[in-house]
Amino acid sequence: MPTISKVLIANRGEIALRVILACKELGLKTVAVHSEADRDALHVRYADDDVCIGPAASRQSYLNISSIIAAAEITGADAIHPGYGFLAENAHFAEIAGECGLTFIGPTPESIRLMGNKAVARDTAKKAGVPILPGSDGPVRTFEEARDVAQTIGFPVILKASAGGGGRGMRICNDETSLQSAFDTARNEAERAFGSADVYIEKYLEHPRHIEIQVFGDTHGRIVHLGERECSIQRRHQKLLEESPSPVLTQELRQAMGEAAIKLCQAVDYVNAGTIEFLFQDGQFYFMEMNTRIQVEHAVTEEVTGMDLVKEQIRVASGLPLTMPQHELRLRGHAIEFRINAEDPVTFAPNPGKIREFHIPGGPGVRVDTAAYRDYVIPPHYDSLIAKLIVRGKDRSEALARGRRALEQFIIEGVKTSIPLHRAIVNNDRFIRGEFSTRFMEEFEWGREG
């Protein structure tokens, strides 16, 4: 059983700070790594040790595996938490960490590799008996192959990068005419973004909901699910807010999706935190992909289950069993997370710069995860997420009321943020009724509504 005493966090921003806080509660020392652009970041200030690992550019700092491993060695760290993004789903990084005697706080390199390729993950899900959408058996490498599959399953179809995520390498085609250009574009984009041009095809659902199941496995063979998160409010496949439980799932559907998620985890001997993502339409759910890491929206699950997922990650990586068996896990109340980004709320263009005023909301059922502060300068080199506002209520109605109140109290001046957009969403009648799909933002057009 590995003994963890000092954790290096191979990340930045609010997730790095979140991991540091969990480590402090467990009595563990921490190491912050940072780029030259992040010298004044809060995660650097709060960690026990810190090491500058390179210039501002991610490839020379937060994606620089050798520099991160060297930082662990010189500070005496014995474990690495990758957070989310950057190297979190990099099997090579997890492998090297293990070879250097470091405990990787996440799944095994084998699981990351297997589930990281979305075409392979789809095939694994199919073999495990998890529902999947009609589509290609693996990547399609020529237009002719793509056309044959599309004709077999029927239009519309969606092309997806096998190694991708975040909407890159993804194209929707309504007919054969659009398929040729979409196929070439998706492959080129996938090659640039992920180093692999492989794409696969699935039947495209026109008004699905995006619902994901939080899963957790330990080294003792136990795997549990912690309910679902509704992630349908998104723009260009980027999530804007998440909530749990979903407004549309019955207990029977929740159980069926949870059992399917566990079945897939068992098929790959999954350990630590992960998320199984499904599309849901007309009462049916279909496997979409698996994320082999902690998610940005993990706080939503924490609020309705009472479990600290980051501390649980560290416990599991230490060889300890999960703290809760499946029959003790219950969803209590309702939670919503708003991703507060430094970007124009209408055009979504990033808006880095200096925060002149920063006041976070408080009161019952309100939580803010952030590494921002007054006079902090948001660098232009990284993701635009600067805070996560999480609200909880006894039911969805109370959570929404608290969300409205907290969004009004949240003051950030000096940069544009997504707060005005979130205020508009929580006051939208369709959202309030829970009647939405992943196309909500296309139909909302809030910028033109004022």
For the segment 40-70, what is each residue's pLDDT rounded down to a tens digit?
999 999 999 999 999 999 999 999 999 999 9
pTM of the predicted model as reported, rounded to 2 decimal places: 0.93
- Domains in the chain, ordered, with CATH? 6-105 (3.40.50.20), 134-203 (3.30.1490.20), 209-449 (3.30.470.20)
Instruction: Note if 293 is an active site residue.
Output: yes
Q: Over the stretch 320-341, which tens digit does the pLDDT of each residue have?
A: 999 999 999 999 999 999 999 9
CA dihedral 393, 398, 399, 405 (to 10 degrees): -120
Q: Which amino acid is at 193?
A: A
pLDDT higher than threshold 50 for residue 450 = no
Q: What are the φ/ψ torsions at residue 342 (nearest 5 degrees)?
A: -85, 85
Residue 392, burial from CB neighbour count under 10 angstroms (0-12, 13-18, 19+):
buried
Q: What is the mean pLDDT of residues 359-386?
A: 97
Q: What is the mean pLDDT of residues 78-105?
A: 97
Q: What is the pLDDT of residue 1?
A: 56
Q: What is the mean pLDDT of residues 387-395?
A: 98
| Pair of tokens at residue 136 | 């290609």
CB atoms within 10 A of CB 411: 12
Q: In what order do the strands lie in the sheet with 171-173?
A: 171-173, 157-161, 199-203
- Looking at 209, 293, 315, 402, which residue is catalytic? 293
Q: Over the stretch 126-185, which tens digit does the pLDDT of each residue have?
A: 999 999 999 998 899 999 999 999 999 999 999 999 887 767 889 999 999 999 999 999
